[in-house]
């Protein structure tokens, strides 16, 4: 699976949009981009995923560049409860090339939402 | 919304003892996983399980570890003879069978080895 690069930490003011970048320049055609977050020591929480189109759900939006080498997770109106470590993970489609879908976590971006 | 549940939330065990961590995955999910996170470190993959057998495991998952789905609802991780370095948060995850569906995680079991 392709490696990802994320900033170590970011700050965001409460109520503003939080834009978290991720570089995945070696991503291949069958690899999806997944975003998870981990609040304190809870289990990782799924946020959103995409292949090449932009995606939006009730939690966030995912913008993937046309060449798929980078993406941005957008939390439109950050709250204090969004303070967490955010992980960008690139993963092969299940069963493609023998992939069993296990996730490889990096260190992520520690997002601090401040009042 | 259905969720993955893990018990106990905290397990304290003497070194050398056996421990079993329990998970109830989401009911219509087909793929099951265990991960661990040593305090202050990254989340690490341990093992994946599908169709009643291990499909992939990491170097961490040595002969001291085993997994089982004994009754079609529970998914367990057993550590046969615990070591101090097994102290960590252990997370269970499950996913549906569709190719790009995400994994959903439980809130983990904190394992403390004394």
Query: Hey, how many other C-beta atoms are within 10 angstroms of the C-beta on A99?
Result: 18
CA B50/CA B56 separation, integer angstroms: 9
- Smallest CA–CA distance from A89 into chain B, residue: B102
Q: Is the distance from CB of B1 to CB of A59 less than 8 angstroms?
A: no
CA B100/CA B76 separation, integer angstroms: 25
Q: What is the mean pLDDT of chain B?
A: 94
- Smallest CA–CA distance from A106 into chain B, residue: B42
For residue A115, give how far its alpha carbon lies from the nearest alpha carbon of chain B (Å): 26
Contact A49 B100 (CB under 8 A): yes
CB nearest B48 (choices: A87, A101, A105): A101
pLDDT digits (tens, 9 = 90+) for B76-106: 999 999 999 999 999 999 998 766 889 999 9
CB nearest A34 (choices: B48, B102, B107): B102
Four-point Cα dihedral A40, A41, A43, A44, nearest 10: 50
pLDDT for res B71: 86
Question: Tokens representing B80?
Answer: 């046969």
Chain B residues touching residue A49 (CB < 8 angstroms):
100, 102
pLDDT for res A91: 87
Question: Tokens representing B30?
Answer: 């087909």
B44 touches A: beta carbon within 8 Å: yes
B34 touches A: beta carbon within 8 Å: no
CA B91/CA B33 separation, integer angstroms: 8
Q: What is the mean pLDDT of chain A?
A: 92
Contact B100 A104 (CB under 8 A): no
Chain B residues touching residue A50 (CB < 8 angstroms):
none
CB neighbour class for A9 (10 Å; exposed up to 12, middle 13-18, buried from 19): exposed
CB nearest B99 (choices: A46, A93, A106): A93
pLDDT digits (tens, 9 = 90+) for A56-75: 999 999 999 999 999 999 99
- How many Cα atoms within 13 Å fall on the side-chain side of residue B107? 9
Q: What is the largest CA-CA distance in chain B?
A: 41
Q: What is the largest CA-CA distance in chain A?
A: 46
pLDDT for residue A96 is more than 60:
no
């Amino acid at each position: 699976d392709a490696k990802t690069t994320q900033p170590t930490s970011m700050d965001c003011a409460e109520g503003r949009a939080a834009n978290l970048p991720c570089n995945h320049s070696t991503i291949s055609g069958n690899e999806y981009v997944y975003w998870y977050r981990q609040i304190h020591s809870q289990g990782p929480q799924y946020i959103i995923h995409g292949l090449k189109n932009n995606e939006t759900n009730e939690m966030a939006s995912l913008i993937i560049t046309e060449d798929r080498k980078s993406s941005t997770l957008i939390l439109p109106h950050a709250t204090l409860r969004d303070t967490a470590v955010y992980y960008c993970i690139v993963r092969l489609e299940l069963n493609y090339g023998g992939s069993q879908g296990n996730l490889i976590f990096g260190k992520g971006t520690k997002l601090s939402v401040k009042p | 919304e259905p969720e993955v549940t893990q018990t106990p939330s905290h397990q304290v065990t003497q070194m050398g003892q056996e421990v079993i961590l329990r998970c109830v995955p989401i009911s219509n999910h087909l793929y099951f996983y265990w991960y661990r996170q040593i305090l202050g470190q990254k989340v690490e993959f341990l093992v994946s399980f599908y169709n009643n057998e291990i499909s992939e495991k990491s170097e961490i998952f040595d002969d001291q570890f085993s997994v089982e789905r004994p009754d079609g609802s529970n998914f367990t991780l057993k550590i046969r003879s615990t070591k101090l370095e097994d102290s960590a948060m252990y997370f269970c995850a499950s996913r549906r069978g569709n190719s790009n569906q995400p994994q959903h995680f439980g809130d983990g079991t904190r394992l403390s080895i004394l």
